[in-house]
């Protein structure tokens, strides 16, 4: 089972309730998983291989406040009559290193209309205090979503509107438990958010932009709000928007929001989404970023303050050439951990050196 990362995502390295880190990667017809043998490492088990026939090489991974990890993907299966059956599937891991639940289908917004179902995009998953949400770009270029209730029962697919969405979306949860969703489109960045924890997601003002497909990420910011990030399609400069514009009468299709902050020093000559992590360095609250540089190497930057003050940040390339986007997490000792996948499918990990100031990484190890 070869590791494949054709569609980028950053949230594939997570710390469980027992303090152990787990890394996940899509593979041809399934996924692979690595797990620390003890909190803080350095030893890992894996790669463990999980066969999921027909699973596309993209996973959206979300973690609940209890530490449960949900993985969502798109499954395509050919039938003898030539029909291609497409459905959204998910599984849950309740503890690090333990078995995954049976992969379950939640269908698509189109029921038995296999032709339109085949046109949906890769799912985006996020978990709030109530349950799991899954969003897809629909056949018309808008967004549809489905969510679990507190009993784990799935509601119907909901048409969330929107248009010209470029497939890969991103989502995150605020400090007070509200989901926000970002959907890059051809001429705008579209956004939805919950006005209260557990409530419905509602459209907020569009942002005029020309985002690069496959470059969106969303992460908690310093004040508990959500920072949404994407690259410009022309020059790959990173744009950051926070917080979401207020909802209200102007939140209709085609409405515009104030322009996001463009941060030239954090874009250009790079690809895919940017991984974001908040932590403390030298007694100061800092934001850590990781991306795949134009050279193919992982690149890491750290800065203090808000996203619009990030011009002070400097990228440092490190390690070996990787595929897909790097991932970031804090281990059981609160050290920054950077993970990347090589073209050979081998997981590579570097940890923060605590005996040096700032963000100094130790040597990369192959898992």
Q: For a pLDDT cut of 70, what percent of the chain falls above it?
A: 88
**Is 209 in the same domain as 295?**
no
Q: What does the alpha-carbon distance between residue 123 and residue 136 come to, in Å, rounded to a whole number?
A: 5
- Distance of CA 8 to CAs 50, 107, 239, 356, Å? 20, 23, 18, 32
**Is 309 in the same domain as 241?**
no
Q: Is the pLDDT of residue 252 over 90?
A: no
Do the Cβ atoms of 106 and 87 come closer than 8 Å?
A: yes
SS3 312: helix
42 in a domain, yes or no? Answer: yes
Q: Could you tell me which of 168, 244, 176, 242 has the C-alpha nearest to residue 205?
A: 244
Do the Cβ atoms of 168 and 124 come closer than 8 Å?
A: yes
**What CA dihedral angle connects 301, 333, 11 and 155, to 10 degrees?**
-140
Give residues with Cβ within 8 angstroms of 147, minimum separation 6. 130, 131, 132, 133, 134, 154, 155
> Binning pLDDT at 50, 70 and 90, where does residue 254 land?
very low
8 in a domain, yes or no? Answer: no
Do the Cβ atoms of 194 and 201 come closer than 8 Å?
A: yes
Q: What is the model's pTM?
A: 0.92
CATH number of the CATH domain containing 130: 2.120.10.10
Q: Is the pLDDT of residue 355 over 50?
A: yes
**Is 244 in the same domain as 142?**
yes
Phi-psi region of 18 (alpha: psi -120 to 50; beta: other; left: phi over 0): alpha
The pLDDT value recorded for residue 223 is: 78
Q: Is the pLDDT of residue 260 over 60?
A: yes
5 in a domain, yes or no? Answer: no
1 in a domain, yes or no? Answer: no
DSSP for 246-302 reads PPSTT-STT-B-PPPEEEGGG-SSEEEEEEEEEEEETTEEEEEEEEEETTSSEEEEE
For 267-291, the pLDDT digits (tens) are: 667 889 999 999 999 888 899 999 9
**Is 210 in the same domain as 221?**
yes
**Is 171 in the same domain as 118?**
yes
**Is 35 in the same domain as 97?**
yes
Give residues with Cβ within 8 angstroms of 51, minimum separation 6. 1, 29, 30
Domain count, the chain: 2
Out of 270, 287, 322, a domain closes at: 270
Do the Cβ atoms of 127 and 62 come closer than 8 Å?
A: yes
Domain extent for 163: 13-270
Out of 270, 289, 318, a domain closes at: 270
For 210-230, the pLDDT digits (tens) are: 999 999 999 988 778 899 999
Strand partners, 81: none
Q: What is the mean pLDDT of the chain?
A: 89
Q: What does the alpha-carbon distance between residue 13 and residue 21 come to, in Å, rounded to a whole number?
A: 7
């Amino acid at each position: 089972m070869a590791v494949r990362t054709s569609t980028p995502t950053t949230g594939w390295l997570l710390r469980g309730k027992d303090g152990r880190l787990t890394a996940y990667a899509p593979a041809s017809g399934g996924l692979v998983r690595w797990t620390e043998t003890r909190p803080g490492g350095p030893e890992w088990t894996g790669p463990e291989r999980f066969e999921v026939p027909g699973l596309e090489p993209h996973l959206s991974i979300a973690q609940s406040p209890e530490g449960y990890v949900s993985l969502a993907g798109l499954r395509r299966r050919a039938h003898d009559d030539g029909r291609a059956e497409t459905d959204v599937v998910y599984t849950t891991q309740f503890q690090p290193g333990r078995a995954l639940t049976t992969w379950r289908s939640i269908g698509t917004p189109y029921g038995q209309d296999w032709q339109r179902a085949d046109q949906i995009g890769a799912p985006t998953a996020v978990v709030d205090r109530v349950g799991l949400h899954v969003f897809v770009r629909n056949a018309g270029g808008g967004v549809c979503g489905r969510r679990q209730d507190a009993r784990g029962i799935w509601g119907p697919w909901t048409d969330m509107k929107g248009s010209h969405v470029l497939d890969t979306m991103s989502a995150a949860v605020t400090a007070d438990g509200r989901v926000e969703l970002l959907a890059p489109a051809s001429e705008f960045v579209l956004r939805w958010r919950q006005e209260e924890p557990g409530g419905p997601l509602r459209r907020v003002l569009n942002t005029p932009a020309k985002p690069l497909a496959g470059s969106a990420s969303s992460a908690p910011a310093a004040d508990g709000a959500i920072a949404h990030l994407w690259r410009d399609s022309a020059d790959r400069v990173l744009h950051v928007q926070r917080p979401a514009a207020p909802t209200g009468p102007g939140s209709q299709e085609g409405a515009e929001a104030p322009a996001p902050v463009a941060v030239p020093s954090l874009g250009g000559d790079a690809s895919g989404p940017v991984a974001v992590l908040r932590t403390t360095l030298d007694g100061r609250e800092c934001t850590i970023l990781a991306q795949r540089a134009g050279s193919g190497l992982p690149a890491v930057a750290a800065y203090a303050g808000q996203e619009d003050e990030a011009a002070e940040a400097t990228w440092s390339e490190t390690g070996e050439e990787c595929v897909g986007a790097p991932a970031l997490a804090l281990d059981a000792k609160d050290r920054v951990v950077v993970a990347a996948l090589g073209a050979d499918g081998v997981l590579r990990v570097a940890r923060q050196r605590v005996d040096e100031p700032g963000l100094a990484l130790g040597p990369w190890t192959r898992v």
